[in-house]
Structure 1
Amino acid sequence: MNHDWKEAKGAKSGQRTYSTRSLHGQVVHELGKRIVTGDIDEGEVLPNETELGASFDVSRTALREGIKVLTAKGLLASRTRTGTRVRPRHEWNMLDPDILAWRSTAHDPDRFIQDLVEFRMAVEPLAASLAATRATTEQLAYIEQAYFDMVAAGEDVHAGVEPDLRFHQGILHASGNELLAPLGALIEAALTMSFRLATPAIKLDSFPVHKAVLDAILDRNPQQAHDAMVNLLGYAKSYNTAVLSEMRENESVEA
């Protein structure tokens, strides 16, 4: 396998994440990433506004706005006497698109991939089975077109990411469950990172596995749709693990 680890680490859609166009948006991403990746520890008190503002080269106003955003994401807590402190990890909003994107850039992504696959296993097989029963004609056509577009992208991993997202998000929406439907958008950045770990050969091999899910949904067979999605997610876990393992080996050799 020939794969660019840095490219995979930085992969995200950018559609759901917080904008970096403003100064406070840049603070959000830089400070948030440091916290989520462990460069700033849980419970650690941040420097005062003067020091922190100087380190980011931004005004106090921009810094305060950035901290407000990170506070809303559950990463920070501000107190008048004790200052701004990093909240315990279990209090973070782990389904926040930015936090998911930052987690995908962590120094050791294995835990992230494991959590992502387990989360998808809990959600997507159910969504597929429901879609087989509830999907409208329009929703079936949407999922089918997403599959055709994946196939048309062929070995081009980057071109295949967007239709792959549409395929999985379309199934979540077709489930008819209003709690399941938004999950695709929430984890979009994480899915993008996972999809871009695929090599061209892996991408081609995944088409029949996706097709089995599509066929079961089109056939209105909920049990087959459930089982086919479990198989697809198992395939994704296997190639993610293999690619990450090879990347670590290559980094060890280069070091």
Structure 2
Amino acid sequence: MTQTAARRTYSKRSLHGQVAHDLGRRIIGGSYPEGSLLPNEEELSTELDVSRTALREAIKVLTAKGLIVSRPKIGTKVRPRGDWNMLDPDVLEWTIQTSDLTVFSRKLIEMRDMIEPAAAGLAARNHRPEQAVELVEAYRAMDASQTHQDWSAADLRFHQAMLSATGNELVGALGTLIETALITSFDYSARHARKPKESLILHRDVLDAILSRDPAAATQAMEVLLTDAREAIDRIAAAQAGS
């Protein structure tokens, strides 16, 4: 995860944020299963060595993220996983930290499959000149990268630029919203790639189609790119299973 992405998460900016971070990881990691009650306030504040005020503020943070719900005379209960705000940057970070990265990356690609091909088509139709420049510069940064970290950062920049170029601010915001997930997945794949920059030519196909304002070609090129990404994750999983 990039330092930028880490700084964007709310949970580590204050004492109660650190408490929220600790509890959030425990909940998502399964230490407090769905439907279970958290220890009472006195026990939890003692265990975490924080004031009740800090704990209460942390509980508010986790409640807002959909992880828990507090009821008078009952206590604080972990909500079902389906209620969690999985696109919240903190929740994404905690999920990544407590999950099998292969499984997580596959789920992320499933989501990207539903969004990015259509987004590439929109970008081909709607991009402005300055957005075309940003796409080209992101691609050049990928081509010039010397480390997998540089590659991952440039790859993230390329996909965020593509989403922004759709002309739909809701789609454009998605790239920032799931930045932590994307950079983690890109870095994971890059570290295990058979050769550096192996998907560069596929990104070039997406770029060329967008710049040519060919929505059908851009959609198809993005589908091919995501298929390659999925196959790369499958190769990583197979290699790890055989090691």
Identity %: 49
Is 1:214 the counterpart of 2:219? The answer is no
Where relative contact order (Cα < 8 A, 6+ residues apart) is larger, the structure is: 1
Given that 1:151 and 1:207 are in contact with CA atoms closer than 8 Å, whether structure 2 keeps it comes out as yes
Bigger Cα displacement from structure 2, 42-51 vs 29-38: 29-38
Distance 2:149 2:120 in 1: 25
Displacement of 1:111 in angstroms is: 3.5
1:84 aligns with one of 76, 94, 97? 76
> How far, CA to CA, are the matches of 1:53 and 1:245 in structure 2?
44
| Structure 1 stretch displaced more, 117-126 or 49-58 | 49-58
* Cα deviation digits, residues 139-176 of structure 1 (max 9, x gap): 0000110010111113x101122221111011111001
1:187 offset after TM fit, Å?
Answer: 0.8
Tell me if the contact between 1:103 and 1:109 (Cα under 8 Å) persists in the aligned partners: no
Question: Which AA in structure 1 matches 2:50?
Answer: V
Structure that is richer in helix per residue = 2
Aligned-partner residue type, residue 78 of structure 1: S
- CA positional deviation for 1:90: 0.7
**Is 2:164 the partner of 1:173?**
yes
The 1:248/1:176 distance shift into structure 2, 3 A limit, reads same
Q: Which residue of 1 aligns with 2:98?
A: 106
- The TM-score with structure 1 as length reference comes to 0.88
2:226 aligns with 233
Alpha-carbon distance in structure 1 between the residues aligned to 2:51 and 2:33: 24
8 Å CA contact 2:119–2:163 kept in 1: the answer is yes
TM-fit CA distance, 1:202: 4.3
Number of corresponding residues: 239
CA RMSD of aligned residues (A): 1.6
Q: Distance in 2 between matches of 1:122 and 1:18?
A: 28
TM-score by length of 2: 0.93
Report the CA distance between 1:108 and its aligned residue.
3.0
What residue number does 1:141 align with? 133
